[in-house]
Structure 1
Amino acid sequence: MSGTTIARPRQLTCTFSRAARELGLRRGEFDLAVHLGRIRTVPDEGGGGRRVRRSEIERLQDRAEILRESVRAVGTTEAAGLMEIPAGRFTRFAKLGLVTPVTWYPNRYRAVVWLYLAEELRQFAADEKNARLLTGRTPEELRDRLRAGADQRARNWRGRHCGFLLRAAGGPWERAGVVAGFLDPGEIDQTLTDPHERAYVQAFRPAPPAHGAPGSPTALLAEELMTADEPDEIDWFRNDLARAVAEARTIHPVPRPVTHAQHPAPAQPRSAHGLRGWLHRRNAALARSFSPTEP
């Protein structure tokens, strides 16, 4: 036998973990780059999930530093420094929904730490239309909203995260499942009355971002943040779910279990007793017709 070694062909795609390592990104940075459309992915032909083409990695390797900076996410203190404003003012901006979190994590006290894209904060600060917000007194109408308890951070993150997931959804029922992922199960039951469609949509619901083992306090916190909690927001997700399911229904109706009523019962054969009786009478008649006549 020859000692020649046959080299394996290089794979055309690789996993997210491998792509992140080759681009020098932490996994969180890589996932954020995918969500933002900075890294293009393709479906995994092996079934389930997505992968990255080698050509995409090669395209990005020369600009890895630019890519890393474009997905840099910062907390309140660093965000305020980038915008050259006090941290308290930045927090007010975030609560009013003037800036939108891109992700979050729980600290050791299980409090939510919101993170914001540094790139977006610089753009906000550079926009002349926002100059009056960065200095001087906060406008009265905004202070009224803060006094009333306004805090749009979780809601705005949900809207943004929903957009990320919808862009990655592979079909109409997957898109419906994404929208359902932001509703309490009871709201889904009230919106989707067909049990088959409801079960199909539930199968495509995305899990909340992973922050701890299932059932742990941090996992429960993630589930809470993923679920719409204001009446108008709940109505928005319910209406969007109903529209998504109506669209999916016209493109690809939900497979339904075969029931007895959908198939007519086969014709019952004549009973063995009746058939034997008919054959007996026929054979008897034939025998009489061929019997010899008496002299």
Structure 2
Amino acid sequence: MGGNTIATPATRVPAASLAQSRAARELGLKRGEFELAVRLGRVRTVPAHDGGRRRVAREEIERVRDTTGFPDSLREHVRAVGTTEGAGLMDITTARFTRLARAGMLTPVRFYLNRYRAVVWLYLAEELREFATAEVNAPLMTGRAPDRMRARLDAGIDLRPRNWRSRHAGHLLGQSADAWERAAAVASLLDPVTVLELVKCPYERGYLNKLRPESTGHGAPDSPSARIAERIMTADDPHEISWLRASLLLSLAEARRLRPAPRPNAGTPVAAHQEPLEPTTYSSGVAPPEPDAAPTGGATGTGEQRPVEAEPPRPSRGLFGWLRRRGA
């Protein structure tokens, strides 16, 4: 029977691996810098033996150390800046920077809440410089904005949360080892009411909840800060929700073909905490006009949270196809 066991490279964990906190210290990175390095694929992680938080292989530490210019080059790749510093890097006013970000031209890489619980967006300095030097973006750096862009901004549309979720989804799917984990990643972007509607089986909902990606800390659970962060991390545009619903159903169909969700009587207990949370509702934005294709780039702004408006690609294109197009 031992000859029938297949070792899967995606799930094999090297014997020598480090906790992420230890790996960050060995690479000379602060916590936030290390998290960004992982999200951007600069530092690769592997699943933990016990199913806990992902770890970093010793070989990966050595690989990163051997890269040209380490550690300064690594720190520059993960350098995130806010509106004021970002505008300075691009040699534009903070007002123009914020308008570009709200219009979806600059993609946030992180966000946090300040002491007043206002959302502060952060952008990769590397991406901002690339955006500013690209010839195709020159008309956006000076002069009058395109009519469609001005119309969306005048309507109060803010694409920063939507763009951040797109980038976040790419990271989650990149960490997923199988179809059930991919389904859980997609479900984490939908509100509980939608998940409850689409996933009728309580064992499947419990399993998805168990596999739900760990969320970045934004205050104690159910605190005002945590609720604001949850709204940002949950799709709120009708088109985006429709597309994610279709993606979840496709991921579930694939997962069910591979294996059923574990049940208590199948030898794999499903704990009570794995049951779905009580449904809550979230406001959703009004269907927007189709946005212009956004030039390449990423960036930050601050401001009140508004509904995110953008027309996503059709479900048949696949989630990775959408993410590749958004990041192109």
TM range, smaller chain: 0.7 to 0.9
Shift of 1:44: 1.8
Aligned twin of 2:76: 69
> What CA deviation, in whole Å up to 9, does each residue of 1:81-107 have, x standing for no partner?
111111111111111111110010101
> What CA deviation, in whole Å up to 9, does each residue of 1:141-172 have, x standing for no partner?
21111111110011111111111111112221
Could you say what secondary structure the match of 2:116 adopts? coil
Shift of 1:182: 1.0
Matched, 1:209 2:216: yes
Aligned twin of 2:98: 91
Shift of 1:17: 0.5
Matched, 1:115 2:122: yes
Aligned twin of 2:148: 141
Aligned twin of 2:320: none
Within the candidate set 136, 160, 169, 1:153 is matched to 160
Aligned twin of 2:324: none
**If the length of structure 2 is used for normalisation, what is the TM-score?**
0.73
Tell me, yes or no, if the aligned pair for 1:208 and 1:226 is still in contact at 8 Å.
Answer: no
Matched, 1:130 2:137: yes
Distance 1:141 1:217 in 2: 35
Shift of 1:257: 5.4
Within the candidate set 21, 25, 29, 1:25 is matched to 29
State which drifts further: 42-51 or 158-167.
42-51
Shift of 1:207: 4.2
Larger RCO, structures 1/2 (Cα 8 Å, 6+ apart): 2
Could you say what secondary structure the match of 1:18 adopts? helix
Tell me, yes or no, if the aligned pair for 1:101 and 1:156 is still in contact at 8 Å.
Answer: yes
Alignment of 1:134-283 (within 5 A): 134-256=141-263
Shift of 1:255: 3.2
Could you tell me which runs of 5 or more consecutive residues in structure 2 were left unpaired when the two chains were aligned: 1-14, 267-328
Within the candidate set 61, 77, 84, 1:57 is matched to 61
Instruction: Kindly indicate which of the two structures has a greater share of residues assigned to helix.
Output: 1
Aligned CA RMSD, in angstroms, stands at 1.6
Could you tell me which runs of 5 or more consecutive residues in structure 1 were left unpaired when the two chains were aligned: 1-10, 260-295
Tell me, yes or no, if the aligned pair for 1:208 and 1:223 is still in contact at 8 Å.
Answer: no
Letter in 1 for 2:95: G
Shift of 1:43: 1.9
Aligned twin of 2:111: 104
Letter in 2 for 1:187: T
Aligned twin of 1:13: 17
Tell me, yes or no, if the aligned pair for 1:41 and 1:51 is still in contact at 8 Å.
Answer: yes
Distance 2:265 2:88 in 1: 63
Letter in 2 for 1:85: I
Cα pair distance change 1:19/1:117, threshold 3 Å: same
Distance 1:133 1:125 in 2: 9
**If the length of structure 1 is used for normalisation, what is the TM-score?**
0.80
Letter in 2 for 1:123: E
**Identity among equivalent pairs (%):** 58
Aligned twin of 2:282: none
Distance 1:125 1:201 in 2: 41
Distance 1:198 1:18 in 2: 34
Within the candidate set 79, 82, 86, 1:79 is matched to 86
Could you say what secondary structure the match of 2:55 adopts? strand
> What CA deviation, in whole Å up to 9, does each residue of 1:232-287 have, x standing for no partner?
1111111111111011111122234559xxxxxxxxxxxxxxxxxxxxxxxxxxxx
State which drifts further: 211-220 or 72-81.
211-220
Distance 1:19 1:161 in 2: 22
Distance 1:254 1:130 in 2: 48
Distance 1:195 1:61 in 2: 46
Letter in 2 for 1:244: S
Letter in 1 for 2:55: R
